Amino acid sequence: MAGGETDDATERKSQRITMATIGAAHGVRGEVKLTVFADDPLTLRRYNPFEAPDGRVFKLLGIKVVGKAFVARFDGLDDRNEAETLRGTVLSVPRGRLPRPAEDEFYYVDLVGLDARLADGRWIGTVHAVHDFGAGDLLELTGPRPAMIPFTREAVPHVAIEDGYVVIDPPDGLLEDPGKTRRRKGDEDNPDDLAEAPPINKADEADGAV
């Protein structure tokens, strides 16, 4: 329809984006600590209201820094005991409420499910999840060679969201050369055991081919 959105665009706008997770209660008036996934946690209120996986809606009234933690106050939450029951609750918003990411910035939800390829096009797995353990984002790959790949320009030089893949240039030693088999322990003196392996074909993997 002229001037209208495609079904894919509408579906993308309705995707849920995780913005924060409720942590421990703080004080006795219902405030809670938050793990925030936004670039600027102190502007989190602009994305109100938030929704939990069970459909409950939360309106953020305020957020502040206390020590190294972010502490939030939600509408209708004024009791520590009730606040403790919310620990671990994931808060999300529809994707359409968020600004378009800048160049070389990506939402985690857009990365999950992408194929992972080497520079020569060989498929090595799928992006299963994106993690941040405090030292930078990591792409968790599942498939024939599970690995954690640093999400840096050097290790992931190309991201093609629309085409459904990322290009991986893993640091030395992080992935085995997918063109060679491993040498078994005890076979070090037999170079004939190092045979060239054929490139991985994703279709063959799906069909169970060896």
Please report, in angstroms and rounded to a whole number, the separation of the first and last CA atoms in the chain: 46
- Cα–Cα dist 167/146, whole Å: 15
- Cα–Cα dist 198/104, whole Å: 33
pLDDT value at residue 193: 41
Q: How many CB atoms lie within 10 A of CB 176?
A: 14
Domain 108-204 has CATH 3.30.70.1170: no
Topology of domain 15-95, per CATH?
Answer: Elongation Factor Tu (Ef-tu); domain 3 (2.40.30)
The contacts of residue 149 (CB under 8 Å, 6+ apart) are 116, 138, 139, 141, 155, 156, 168, 170, 174
Query: For the chain, what are the domain ranges?
Result: 15-95, 108-204
Write out pLDDT tens, residues 114-128.
999 999 999 999 999
pLDDT value at residue 64: 95
All residue ranges of the chain with pLDDT < 70 are 1-14, 176-210
Strand arrangement, sheet containing 60-66: 57-58, 50-51, 90-94, 16-26, 31-36, 69-74, 60-66
- Cα–Cα dist 144/127, whole Å: 12
pLDDT value at residue 14: 66
- Cα–Cα dist 161/155, whole Å: 17
State pTM to two decimals.
0.58
Q: Kindly state the tokens that stand for 118.
A: 């080497």
Give the Å distances, CA to CA, from 52 to 17, 59, 85, 88, 123.
11, 11, 13, 10, 36
In degrees, rounded to 5, the angle at the alpha carbon of residue 73 between the alpha carbons of residues 69 and 75 is 160
Q: Kindly state the tokens that stand for 107.
A: 């939402």
